[in-house]
Amino acid sequence: MSLDKRCIVIGAGVAGAACARALVDRGWQIKLLDIAKEPCAAASGVPVGVVSCHASPDDNPLSQLTRAGLQATIAFAKAHLIEGQDWSPVGVLERRFAESDKAKKPWQEPGEDSVWFSHVKLAQEEQLRQAGLNADSSHDLWQAQGAWIKPMALVRALLSSDDILFLGLHEVESMLKSPATGEWVLRIKHHIPIPGMGSSFTYTSASAPHVVLATGAHTPDFLNQVLYEPDMGLHPIAGQVSWGLQAPSMGEELPKFAVNGHGSFVAHVPTVEGLAWYTGSTFDRHESHLIASDEAHAHNRQRLGELLPAVADKLASQWNDTTQIKAWNGVRCASINRLPKLGPLDEKRFPGLHMLSAMGSRGLTLALLCAQAVADRIEGKPPVLADALLKAMQCELPEA
C-alpha cells in the first residue's frame, strides 16, 4: 500500500514551516494551521537571529546537533534568501564567559582531524580589535560559517510552495483518531475579524493521516488542553530584544559580524527605516509575558556592557534617550535537557502524531535539520541523525 502523503502541520513559525517544506519536497500535500492571521507571528517573529554552533570541547549532543543544523540552514539560505537583505554570512564571534564560579574548559585550536576544524577557531587579533576587545587574554572563538538571518524571510521562503496551504486564524480545539478512516480529525475554531466589532467565529474540520505539532511556546497548553496529556517538562522562556537605528557615522564603529555570549549583538541589519542594531534577549524562564519593559531594556544594556563594553559605550547616548530604543518581545519553548523534542508523540496511543518543539533560542540553527528528521520518521526512512541524538530528543509522554 502506498503512503498517503497528506499531513496537517499545526504552528506556522520556523519549526512548522520547516516541517511543511521538508514534507512538500518529498511530494506531500500540507495544510498549515495557525491561530495567528499570518505565519511567523510568535517567537519566530523576532526581527533577526544568529545561526551558530554550540562549541564544546567534549562535543556534547547539543554541539553535534547545532553543527549539523548550521549546515542545513546555511545551505537553504544560500539557495533561497537574498544575501545582505534576508541574511548575511558575516561570521560569529563567541565570547566564552565562565558560568557562575566555574571556568569554561579551555579551547584548543582544532587540528585538521577534528570535527571542529572548519567550524570553530580561536578568535584572531583582528576580529577582537573590530569588537573593541583586548586580544591579550582572550579565549573567545570565531565561527566563520556563522550568520545572521531574518526569520520572517526564512519562513516566507520555506512556505513558497503551491503544495502548502496556509490557514490563519485557525485554532485547533480538539483532535481525535477516527476509528472508521484511521485519520486524525481536527475540530477547528475559525476566527473571523469583524471591523469595529471585534471578531466572530465558525467551526470547521480538517483531517489527515498525519499531524505534526509545531506549536512552540503553546505546546504545553496544547498537550494539556487538546490532548489531555502532561507537558513533558517543557517550559516557556520570555525574552525581550532591544534595538535601535544606527547612525551613519557608526558604520565602522560597530562590528561587521555577529557576537554571541551572554546574549547577542548584531549590527548593520537593513530595515525599511535604515540599518539597525539588535541586542538581547532577556531569558525569563517559566514566564509568558509579552509586555515591553524598561527593566528588560536595562538588563539588555547591562549584558551588552559585559559582552561588548566598547560597543555599549558607543551606543550610550541612544540608550539614554528612551525614544531611540525599541523592543520586540516573544516567548520560546525549551526542554529540561536544552534539546528539541521531535518525532512521534506516542506511537502506540497516538499513531501518526508527531512533534517538533522546544528549540529554545536555537530555532534558526536547528529547525531545518530537525524537520528532516521528523519527515524521515513519518516516511519510515533511515534517519539523518544518529540514534543517540534521536533518543535524547524523543518525546516522552507517561504511560496512560
| 52 compared with 262, residue with greater pLDDT | 52
Write the pLDDT tens digit of every residue in 309-328: 999 999 999 999 989 999 99
Residue 135 scores a pLDDT above 80 = no
pLDDT attached to residue 265: 97
Write the pLDDT tens digit of every residue in 373-398: 999 999 999 998 999 999 999 997 76
Q: What are phi and psi of 334, to 5 degrees?
A: -135, 160
pLDDT attached to residue 400: 53
The domains found in the chain, sorted by start residue, are: 6-45+155-233+336-393 (3.50.50.60), 49-149+235-334 (3.30.9.10)
Measure Cα distances from 43 to 146, 359, 389 in Å.
Answer: 21, 11, 25
Q: Considering only the C-alpha atoms of the chain, give the largest distance between any 2 of them, rounded to a whole number of Å.
A: 71
| Model confidence band, residue 287 (pLDDT cutoffs 50, 70, 90) | confident
pLDDT attached to residue 136: 66
pLDDT attached to residue 40: 93
The number of beta carbons lying within 10 Å of the beta carbon of residue 393 is 23
Write the pLDDT tens digit of every residue in 137-159: 568 999 999 999 999 999 999 99
Strand, helix or coil for residue 134: coil
Return mean pLDDT, the chain. Answer: 92
Residue 224 scores a pLDDT above 90 = yes
Write the pLDDT tens digit of every residue in 11-43: 999 999 999 999 999 999 999 999 999 999 988
> Where does the chain have alpha helices with state H?
14-24, 61-80, 125-130, 151-158, 219-225, 294-307, 309-314, 316-320, 363-379, 387-393
* Whole-angstrom distance, CA of residue 21 vs CA of residue 30: 9
pLDDT attached to residue 145: 96
pLDDT attached to residue 296: 93
Among 130, 153, 141, 169, residue whose Cα is nearest residue 32:
169
| Model confidence band, residue 200 (pLDDT cutoffs 50, 70, 90) | confident
pLDDT attached to residue 104: 63
Q: Could you tell me what percent of the chain has a pLDDT over 70? A: 96
Residue 283 scores a pLDDT above 90 = no
Helix (H), strand (E) at residue 30: strand 29-33
Q: What is the pTM of this model?
A: 0.94
| 113 compared with 304, residue with greater pLDDT | 304
Write the pLDDT tens digit of every residue in 155-183: 999 999 999 999 999 999 999 999 999 99
pLDDT attached to residue 398: 65
Residues near 361 by Cβ (< 8 Å), separated by ≥ 6?
Answer: 49, 237, 239, 281, 283, 332
Write the pLDDT tens digit of every residue in 326-338: 999 999 999 988 9
